[in-house]
Structure 1
Amino acid sequence: MMKAGPIWALGAMSGTSLDGVDAALVHTDGEVIHAFGGSGYRAYSEAEQLALRAALGKWQDDDCSEALQVIQQAHTGHLGTFEGAALIGFHGQTLAHDPHGRGTHQIGDGAALANALDCPVVWDFRTADVRLGGEGAPLAPFYHFACAKWIGAENPVAFLNLGGVGNLTWVDPQKKAPDTPGALLAFDTGPANAPINDLMMQRLGRAYDQDGALATQGNVVVDAVEQFLLHPYFDRLAPKSLDRDEFTGILELVAGLPDSDAAATLTMMCAAAVARGLKRCPSMPERVLVTGGGRKNPVLMHMLNGVLEAQVDPVEAVGLDGDMLEAQAFAHLAVRVQRGLPTSGPGTTGVRAAVSGGTISKPSGKGAN
């Protein structure tokens, strides 16, 4: 039984950009953020990235042993550098996501991690939501609600995470709790950094377009953006989620373009997808707060400011850490799971009713839930 009141929880996130592991401490009771602790980033080596990329699209019955070894070693080593955590939230690495088909697959062994670090671990956050009819993603919205309260927002605000895939959370901070009807609407907006990163890797052997340097030299091909927006995903009602590779034809739309034009066009596709998504929200938010790697791309941020009706700022403008927000989210969610609080609901994943997902593993000899 966990003690009442806030505890220090350590959250870890390895996202669809496949760049590395973020880890962050949060002092929380699963409802209110009381304080932020230390954080850190552990980059994947080129060989580790190649192993993870080779496993993308694989399911539980496929051979994912090499990728699993990368995830376990990276997380064990990185999380082991932190002290003071009473609980760990371990997301693992998403390899495949097909909520209305085969389900969802996050590689990672939370039980082994609990034993290695001698600390309880909450993991497998998405499966229960998918099993009950939800999209299984995005899961950060319940934490975004806590963040909106923490920054003192009074009017609707949106959190936009631009990782490999973009996802948006519309928050009404006047509501009492994240599972209160009308408090949240969340969904994936579309591809974000993933296709830009793929373009850079395929054409130039670089992991990403640093500071938007290539895109800033190019011109946006509007016809390609308009063709991109014809994808049926944009006509689906929210909540909705997508797999990193659902837009498999996106690079074909820029295949004949020079490198700079291709980068600029893919960057505008990300911004255009966000603009299309905001039109699905109950109201236009007062502010769009951007987190994830995309906020460091000045070209993308400029494009967002040009196509969105709301003020666009990095989350640092309100005192939050855009590099660590998702890792913090899984620390917060881990405490919610431990305390039986819901981690997703109809407005965030489309699940039929609010559900508390996650599996809790304790170190051997301490029992397990």
Structure 2
Amino acid sequence: MIFHAIGLMSGTSLDGLDICFARFQKEDSWSFEILNAETVSYDKALKNQLKNAIHLSAEELLELNSSYGFYLGKSVKSFIENHQLTHIDLIASHGHTIFHQPEKKFTLQIGDGRAIKLEANLPVVYDFRSQDVLMGGNGAPLVPIGDELLFPQYDACLNLGGFSNISLKINNQRIAFDIAPVNIVLNQLAKNFGVDFDENGNLAKRGTINEDVLLQLNSLNFYQQSHPKSLGVEWCNENIFPLFQDIEKLDALSTFTEHAAVQISKVLEEKRLKNVLVTGGGAYNQYLIEIIRGKTMTDIIIPEKEIIEYKEALIFALMGILRINNEINVLSSATGSSYNHSSGIIA
């Protein structure tokens, strides 16, 4: 069986919209080839809209849900035309996360899939997380199904995006959980220097670790909890950012980079992993990678650029294919829901 699908992913770090067109084949196991991929950068106005959407009224949020859906549809339509793509089975859209509070049984990823369908005139699968949250799960992480089916040769897959999350197999079960915030905090702290992100970790490298703040960060209750568990922007606003109000800006970057590395390497060591595939924007943060490597015996594998940048969009494309075929695309062992299920609304 051969499928061609487009995956759309917008991460919490607001880098832009990742679009990935891939060919999938299922024989004894799944294989894939990324055929075209690109990131559409958000302009300043849209970036601010998405960043501040957490403060919108219900009416304004509904309006943004529609307008952002049409934006996604127009973006994918341009992508299809630019690359002259003809054979596409479906579009799978993650949307952009505004709220994520699974303990209250809700999560919200905006970008109405029906608007995408109207623009692109193709079947669309969207809203992959809500069903899992209603079933008592965290609605996250969802990519472990893709790690299981597309990247089985690695002991674990580690994504360094807005948050770091890991997926690995223990006792023949795929488990996954968020480890710590990464770019959601580092990018915000980098803005103090008039840049969108700390390139290669060069700024953090110049700072001094504030041991007092580092201790407070490492003592946060989340790190003592057992998996499954997930993080959201709200948690960072409450627990992380207040700790940096009174310390030097370079020291803040240095301290948080160290904190992220401590938490990530701790998990790699505890799980005794031989190798780990590292993707997401944080894979380019040489300083962060260097610190992690210094704290663990695990072989840290940085793949080619396409996999680093588009692995999540690729996996959502696969999740869309699984959903259309009514096959399992969410693992309860990863999210904590009551059973494995096939999730996503089909437009």
What CA RMSD, in Å, does the superposition of the two structures yield over aligned residues?
Answer: 2.0
C-alpha contact 2:5 2:88 (8 A) present in aligned 1: yes
Secondary structure of the structure 2 residue equivalent to 1:245? helix
Q: In 2, distance between residues paired with 1:133 and 1:192?
A: 26
In structure 1, what is the equivalent of residue 124 of structure 2? Answer: 121
Q: How does 1:239-318 map onto structure 2 within 5 Å?
A: 239-248=228-237, 249-278=239-268, 283-316=271-304
Match of 2:50 among 32, 49, 52: 52
| 1:68 CA displacement | 3.1
Alignment of 1:322 onto 2:325: no
C-alpha contact 1:57 1:95 (8 A) present in aligned 2: no
Per-residue Cα deviation, 1:117-139 (whole angstroms, up to 9, x for no partner): 01000001011111111100011
Change in Cα spacing, 1:103 to 1:58, as seen in structure 2 (3 Å) is farther
Alignment of 1:355 onto 2:335: no
Q: In 1, distance between residues paired with 2:145 and 2:33?
A: 17
| 1:70 CA displacement | 5.6
Secondary structure of the structure 2 residue equivalent to 1:309? coil
Match of 1:112 among 75, 98, 115: 115
**Structure 1 unaligned regions, length at least 5:** 173-180, 362-369
Amino acid at match of 1:270: A
In structure 1, what is the equivalent of residue 197 of structure 2? Answer: 208
Q: In 2, distance between residues paired with 1:114 and 1:360?
A: 10
Per-residue Cα deviation, 1:138-181 (whole angstroms, up to 9, x for no partner): 111110112323xxx2xx61111111111111147xxxxxxxx7
| 1:62 CA displacement | 5.4
| Paired residue total | 338
Amino acid at match of 2:5: A
Q: In 1, distance between residues paired with 2:73 and 2:309?
A: 20
Match of 1:229 among 218, 221, 228: 218
Amino acid at match of 2:302: P
Amino acid at match of 2:231: L
Q: TM-score, normalised by structure 1?
A: 0.86
Q: TM-score, normalised by structure 2?
A: 0.91
Q: In 1, distance between residues paired with 2:105 and 2:148?
A: 30
Change in Cα spacing, 1:246 to 1:279, as seen in structure 2 (3 Å) is farther
Secondary structure of the structure 1 residue equivalent to 2:14? coil
C-alpha contact 1:239 1:348 (8 A) present in aligned 2: yes
Q: In 1, distance between residues paired with 2:236 and 2:44?
A: 24
Q: In 2, distance between residues paired with 1:144 and 1:205?
A: 36
Q: How does 1:66-77 map onto structure 2 within 5 Å?
A: 67-68=64-65, 71-77=68-74
Q: In 2, distance between residues paired with 1:25 and 1:273?
A: 33
Larger helix fraction of residues? 2
Change in Cα spacing, 1:107 to 1:305, as seen in structure 2 (3 Å) is same
In structure 2, what is the equivalent of residue 194 of structure 1? Answer: 184
Q: In 2, distance between residues paired with 1:74 and 1:267?
A: 34
Q: In 2, distance between residues paired with 1:213 and 1:36?
A: 31
Alignment of 1:21 onto 2:22: no
In structure 2, what is the equivalent of residue 177 of structure 1? Answer: none
Report the identity percentage: 29
Amino acid at match of 2:291: M
Q: How does 1:88-103 map onto structure 2 within 5 Å?
A: 88-103=91-106
In structure 2, what is the equivalent of residue 364 of structure 1? Answer: none
| 1:91 CA displacement | 0.7
Per-residue Cα deviation, 1:280-306 (whole angstroms, up to 9, x for no partner): 6xx422112111000111111111112
Change in Cα spacing, 1:29 to 1:348, as seen in structure 2 (3 Å) is farther
Change in Cα spacing, 1:307 to 1:244, as seen in structure 2 (3 Å) is farther
C-alpha contact 1:9 1:86 (8 A) present in aligned 2: yes
Alignment of 1:137 onto 2:134: no
Change in Cα spacing, 1:220 to 1:199, as seen in structure 2 (3 Å) is same
Alignment of 1:334 onto 2:338: no
Change in Cα spacing, 1:210 to 1:69, as seen in structure 2 (3 Å) is farther
| 1:50 CA displacement | 0.7
Alignment of 1:183 onto 2:179: no
| 1:66 CA displacement | 5.8
Secondary structure of the structure 1 residue equivalent to 2:13? coil
In structure 1, what is the equivalent of residue 209 of structure 2? Answer: 220
Q: In 1, distance between residues paired with 2:146 and 2:169?
A: 11
